[in-house]
Amino acid sequence: MHTLAGKSSVKVIGANGQISLGKEFAGRQVLVEEREPGVWLVRTAQVIPDNERWLHQPKARADLDRALDWSQRHPAQASDPETVLKGLEDGGRPRR
């Protein structure tokens, strides 16, 4: 667990304008807030693309949870595609 007492270190900004935070943060996304000139707050974050935001809404989450539960209670079964298509063509429920 992280404590409120933070660590301090001196970093040098390279010629390309970058600093390294350490390998433990490699690949992570961060938010960088400039609080005032020369003062930055860097926080790790998870960014959700706008077109995926709906997946994190309560109703969508509940629907997904219900679907996953159903799929665990009803394992996939082998079926004959021709029989399934024939059942659909006949207007009835597909047979297995």
pLDDT in tens, 53-89: 998 899 999 999 999 999 999 998 888 888 888 888 8
Distance in angstroms (rounded) separating the CA atoms of residues 10 and 21 = 10
Answer whether residue 66 is part of any domain: yes
Does the pLDDT value for residue 96 go beyond 60? Answer: no
Domain span at residue 60 reads 50-89
* Tokens found for residue 75: 């394992």
Give the pLDDT score at 94. 54
Share above pLDDT 70 across residues of the chain, in percent, rounded to a whole number: 90
Answer whether residue 55 is part of any domain: yes
Distance in angstroms (rounded) separating the CA atoms of residues 96 and 6 = 62
Answer whether residue 71 is part of any domain: yes
**In which band, very low, low, confident or very high, does the pLDDT at 7 lie, cut at 50, 70 and 90?**
confident
Give the pLDDT score at 30. 93
Angle at 43 between CA 1 and CA 54, to 5 degrees: 100
Q: How many domains does the chain have?
A: 1
Q: Tell me how far CA of residue 13 lies from CA of 5, 6, 10, in angstroms.
A: 24, 21, 10
